[in-house]
Amino acid sequence: MQPMQFQLGDRLRLRKQHPCGNFDWEVVRLGADIGLRCEKCGRRVLLPRSEVERRIKQVLPRLSKTDDFFDEE
Ligand SMILES: [Zn+2]
């Protein structure tokens, strides 16, 4: 398993469900702890990077305009 690199605006689907019923989060802060914002209820949480890496089920396509993965289109 390779170490994950997060960037602001990355969208992650976690294995753990937020109490509001949502699984999808956006990365809003980087550091020793990763700040995530629930895409459904907007609540923010801070999780240790190792915790986030363990909980990720899927990395979702970014919606941000700063997205550089689709430059060819
Ligand atoms: Zn939520």
What confidence tens digit (pLDDT) does each residue in 48-69 have? 999 999 999 999 887 755 555 5
Q: What is the pLDDT of residues 20-54, one digit of tens each?
A: 999 999 999 999 899 999 999 999 999 999 999 99
The model's pTM: 0.78
Residues 17 and 23: beta-carbon distance below 8 Å: yes
The domain 11-59 is placed in CATH, from the list 3.40.1710, 1.10.3470, 3.40.50, 2.30.30, at 2.30.30
Give the E-state strand segments of the chain in sequence order: 11-14, 24-29, 33-38, 44-48, 56-60
Q: Provide the residue ranges of all domains of the chain, joining segments of one domain with +.
A: 11-59
Q: 73: CA distance to ligand 1 center in Å? A: 33
**Separation of alpha carbons 10 and 61, rounded Å:** 8
Amino acid at 41: C
Residues, beta carbon < 5 Å, ion ligand 1: 18, 20, 22, 38, 40-41
Q: 40: CA distance to ligand 1 center in Å? A: 5
